[in-house]
Amino acid sequence: MEPPMEPSGGEQEPGAVRFLDLPWEDVLLPHVLNRVPLRQLLRLQRVSRAFRSLVQLHLAGLRRFDAAQVGPQIPRAALARLLRDAEGLQELALAPCHEWLSDEDLVPVLARNPQLRSVALGGCGQLSRRALGALAEGCPRLQRLSLAHCDWVDGLALRGLADRCPALEELDLTACRQLKDEAIVYLAQRRGAGLRSLSLAVN
């Protein structure tokens, strides 16, 4: 249901149609907001409460979220606000959050989005095995995962991923220096037939 519109503060010509008068679900969300860059949407929601409601409705229906579209750095509060209602994400990329992203930030997002198929966490060094366990257990359709330069990824974490992600096709373990031969052998035995891409560079 659309929220009540705020007064525009100016005269409106008889018969004129305002932007927010257009059908939200049939016109604005699928044909307009989908073409607006995420950074511009954040500015748009400051215009009025009605625009804020429209943008939040759009964010709740996102299938793909790349934090790089917001900017080279994104504050923790901003990420939480952007993803608080998202429950249908299929792709999630959080590299710009690498300096502060923690299990407490990520795990609730994973729990709300079990349809995730692609997750990029390259350089997110503040995470732990707990985040990877939540991903492996809660997102069984996962196909692509980047953990490049995540020093916390160890053999036990990789085993959980190999056991619980039967659809895994692409895995980036660049510079995951805790990994030993045994963990890679286990991954190959469990998921090798389905893997199309595996990076073990700088290990």
9-29 mean pLDDT: 74
DSSP H stretches of helix in 16-48: 38-44
Query: For the packed helices 155-164 and 129-138, what is the interaxial angle rounded to 10 degrees?
Result: 10
Look at the alpha carbons of 115, 125, 102, 96 in this order and tell me if their dihedral is positive or negative. Answer: negative
In this prediction, residue 13 carries a pLDDT of 62
pLDDT of residue 5: 45
Structure confidence at residue 11 as a pLDDT band (50, 70, 90): low
The 10s digit of each residue's pLDDT in 46-62 is 888 988 888 888 888 99
Distance CA 185, CA 190 (A): 9
What would you measure as the largest C-alpha separation in the chain, in angstroms? 74
Distance between CA atoms of residues 113 and 154, nearest Å: 25
Output the pTM of the full model: 0.84
The model's pLDDT over 20-33, given as tens digits with 9 standing for 90+, comes to 888 888 888 887 88
